[in-house]
Amino acid sequence: MDEHSGKSTSVWTATADKPSFPTLAEHLYADVCVVGAGIAGLTTAYLLAKAGQAVVVVDDGPIASGESERTTAHLSNALDDRYYHLERLFGVDGARLAAESHSAAIDAIERIVHEEKIDCDFARLDGYLFNSPGEPADVLHRELAAAHRAGLEHVELVDRAPLVSFATGPALLFPNQAQFHPVRYLGALANAVTGLGARIYTGVHASEIEGGASCTVRTTHGWTVTAKAVVVATNSPVTDRVTVQSRQRPYRTYVIGVAVPLGTVPKVLYWDTADPYHYVRLQTGDPRGPRPARDLLIVGGEDHETGQANDMEERFARLEQWTRARFPMASDVRYRWSGQVLEPVDALAYIGPDPLGAENVYIVTGDSGHGMTHGTIAGLLLTDLICGRANPWARLYDPRRVVPSAAPEMLRENASIASQYIDWIAPGDVRTVEQIAPGDGAIVQRGLTKVAVFRDAVGRMHECSAVCPHLGGIVRWNRGEKTWDCPVHGSRFDCDGHVVNGPANSDLQPARATASRGSAG
């Protein structure tokens, strides 16, 4: 089991084998170095290699070991921030480009699946957006008009989604959406990348990234990759301390996979308008179920800001309750997992030149709940930028963009960020380590310092500084995933303090080094 991003295991990780790649053991030169081997990194590497670029990919875990294996893999141009909202922020032309780019991403995935003969359950299907109880009745009508203005002329209002188990009421039908098995896709894509002559190295942590006419990626083992350009595809960019991080917020989202009898739930995508919203899809044939096989209903939701809740079991319970009320044919819960979503204040990903001005360094972040399509957009867009070709989406996704109408949301988010530093003067979670149960973690106050303490199953204590090396937030224990999560910008660390999620790019310090509040990594 791959625990790189947490203890829970998604259905995708449990039902696919990943190809293995060597670790880096020499200095290398390339046209482009891609840091990160998830959907964004591998798609970018694949398209660059097809364009004739010499590419090196490095990742500190196995391929697809971050958030790409924790998605529910909806491939959709029905954006959850709504087209009428995007229209307000970016104008009609901006909303049209957003629709166009997500549609193009689905087409690109379909094309790659066919060209590379990838067995990943790719399927085109319809999607339905329906109102949650208590939501304004005009939401669907507003979204229908905005979707049409954005060029999605085939979206239509129907009487209900095609479910017999509960009446959704009126719904928007978004045709020609898609879904797939993300880990099978990424495993095959990685093999296709190397088949094109690119090189992939795993177990390689990029500790320093420098731009310039000749870029350098230094690793913790001392080896370097020198390249003409670098793509930082690490979900949250490890090259940025404030610029992008102050314009997006990290959220944890929760997913269950519930067995249902074959054929009892139509194979389409479903979303409601709740806040946080629920998202539903079907995976045909539960691979772990008894014979005859059952389908797997995959339901997500119950989001909260990272590090600001520790009630994973309660959230899973609420998801299950919501599911059983609407899908009474549901039987046992086969899978439960969580993932991290980065929400930009203006609803669209940041894809393009490094906003701090590092020459020939590019970033991709801000998946906004559409990581599979945003990651594919990144591959299409960044390949054009690196190869010197014009791309119509470049301005829309530019990490340096300023959207004045998003200023109130940015102020609210940064006020929320600032409020998390109160943990510096808050008491510890427990008074003594003896109060920590086996398999659990807690923050302990020792004089003026705070220590993150995890007690393992046999009672041994694992201690490290509770100070996030990114911008000095105090981490909090995530009981469900067995990680230390920072509520400031979403950095995450395993129970021993090893970094698993940016923007932090170094581990939590040893407990003895907690006295320096301003330490940075």
**Which residues, in sequence order, are bridge partners of residue 255?**
300, 337
* Least confidently predicted of 184-198, 286-300, 413-427, 436-450: 413-427
Domain ranges of the chain: 11-71+183-246+347-412, 121-178+249-344, 426-513
- Amino acid at site 292: P
Which pLDDT band, with edges at 50, 70 and 90, does 520 fall under? very low
Token digits for 105? 């991403």
Note the residue count of the chain.
Answer: 521
> Which residue is associated with the tokens 């490095």?
58
Say if residues 52 and 314 touch (Cβ distance below 8 Å). Answer: no
pLDDT value at residue 410: 62
Rounded to an integer, the average pLDDT of 138-154 is 97
E strands present in 83-122? none
Q: Tell how far CA 212 is from the center of its chain.
A: 29
Asked if CATH classification 3.50.50.60 holds for the domain at 11-71+183-246+347-412, the reply, yes or no, is yes
Residue 165's CB is within 10 A of a number of other CB atoms, namely: 13
Q: Is 3 exposed, middle or buried (0-12, 13-18, 19+ CB in 10 A)?
A: middle
Residue 521 reports pLDDT greater than 90: no
Say yes or no to pLDDT of 236 above 80.
yes
- Mean pLDDT score, 52-71: 95
Q: Answer whether residue 246 shows pLDDT above 90.
A: no
pLDDT tens for residues 75-89? 999 999 999 999 999
Q: What is the pLDDT of residue 110?
A: 98
Q: From 372, 179, 181, select the one nearest 281 (Cα to Cα).
A: 179
pLDDT at 5: 78
Per cent of the chain over pLDDT 90 is 79
- Taking Cα atoms as reference points, which of 231, 174, 167 lies closest to residue 37? 231
Q: How far is CA 154 from CA 130, 142, 147, 218, in A?
A: 17, 15, 9, 49
Strands in 492-494's sheet, in edge-to-edge order, are 476-478, 483-485, 492-494, 499-501
pLDDT for residue 337: 97
pLDDT of residue 3: 55
Separation in Å, CA 242 to CA 306, 405, 503: 17, 20, 9
3-state secondary structure 278-330: CEEEEECCCCCCCCCCCEEEEEEEEEEECCCCCCHHHHHHHHHHHHHHHCCCC
Mean pLDDT of the chain: 91
Q: Point out the least confidently predicted range of 93-107, 234-248, 359-373.
A: 234-248
Which phi and psi (to 5°) does residue 214 adopt?
-125, 110
Question: How confident is residue 178, by pLDDT bands cut at 50, 70 and 90?
Answer: very high
**Residue type at 159 in one-letter notation:** D
Residue 517: the pLDDT is 37
Q: Which of 267-276, 354-363, 494-503, 512-521 has the lowest mean pLDDT?
A: 512-521
Question: What value does the mean pLDDT take over residues 314-332?
Answer: 96
> Which CATH number applies to 121-178+249-344?
3.30.9.10
Backbone angles phi, psi at 296, to 5 degrees: -115, 120
Q: How confident is the model at residue 425 (pLDDT cuts 50, 70, 90)?
A: low
Q: What stretch of H or E contains 252?
A: strand 248-260
Q: How does residue 426 score in pLDDT terms, banded at 50, 70 and 90?
A: confident
Average of per-residue pLDDT across 360-371: 95
> Above 90 in pLDDT, residue 4?
no
Kindly indicate the confidence band of residue 507, based on its pLDDT and cuts at 50, 70 and 90.
very high
Could you tell me the fold of the domain covering 426-513? Rieske Iron-sulfur Protein (2.102.10)
pLDDT at 427: 79
| Listed residue (297, 393, 442, 403) closest to 99, CA to CA | 393
Single-letter residue type at 492: R
- pLDDT at residue 515 tops 50: no
Q: How does residue 133 score in pLDDT terms, banded at 50, 70 and 90?
A: confident
Euclidean distance between CA atoms 127 and 175, whole angstroms: 6
Rounded Cα distance between 229 and 213, Å, is 8
* Least confident piece of the model among 45-59, 318-332, 423-437, 504-518: 504-518
Res. 245: pLDDT tops 90: no
Query: Tokens 């719904």 sit at which residue?
Result: 171
Q: Is 105 helix (H, G, I), strand (E, B) or coil?
A: helix
**513 CB contacts (<8 Å, ≥6 apart)?**
465, 519
Helix-strand-coil split of the chain, %, nearest 5: 25, 30, 45
pLDDT at 215 over 70: yes
Residue 423 has pLDDT above 50, yes or no: yes
- In whole angstroms, how far apart are CA 189 and each of 49, 70, 86, 195, 414? 12, 17, 32, 10, 38
Cis previous bond, 237, omega within 30: no
The domains spanning 121-178+249-344 and 426-513 adopt the same CATH topology: no
Backbone dihedral region for residue 439 (phi beyond 0: left; psi -120 to 50: alpha; all else: beta): left
pLDDT at 289: 53
Q: Is the pLDDT of residue 1 over 50?
A: no
Asked whether residue 407 carries a pLDDT value surpassing 80, the answer given is: no
| pLDDT of 284 above 90 | no
Cα 386 from Cα 379, distance rounded (Å): 11
pLDDT (tens digit per residue) in 91-126: 999 999 999 999 999 999 999 999 999 999 999 999
Residue pair 86/97 in contact (Cβ under 8 Å)? The answer is: no
Mean pLDDT of 308-333: 95
Query: Using the 8-state DSSP alphabet, how is residue 448 labeled?
Result: T
| pLDDT score at 462 | 93
Distances (CA, A) of 183 to 180, 199, 216: 9, 19, 30
Proportion of the chain above pLDDT 70, given as a percent: 92
Q: Are the beta carbons of 154 and 175 closer than 8 angstroms? A: yes
Token duo for residue 519: 């330490």
Is 281's pLDDT higher than 80? yes
**What integer is the mean pLDDT of 354-366?**
95
Confidence of residue 405 (pLDDT cuts 50, 70, 90): low
> Residue 230: beta bridge partners?
33, 361
* pLDDT reported for residue 244: 86
Going 3 to 9 to 10 to 11, the CA torsion angle's sign is: positive
Q: Is residue 492 within 8 Å of residue 476, measured between CB atoms?
A: no
More confident residue, 4 or 414: 4
Burial of residue 517 (CB within 10 Å: 0-12, 13-18, 19+) is exposed
* Cα-Cα-Cα-Cα dihedral sign, residues 424, 426, 432, 438: negative
Confidence of residue 129 (pLDDT cuts 50, 70, 90): very high
pLDDT band per the 50, 70, 90 thresholds, residue 346 = very high
Higher per-residue confidence, 24 vs 431? 24
Rg (CA), the chain: 22
Exposed / middle / buried, residue 355 (Cβ in 10 Å: 0-12, 13-18, 19+): buried
Pairing of the two strands 269-272 and 123-130: parallel
Task: Say yes or no to pLDDT of 44 above 60.
Answer: yes
d(C-alpha 114, C-alpha 112), whole Å: 5
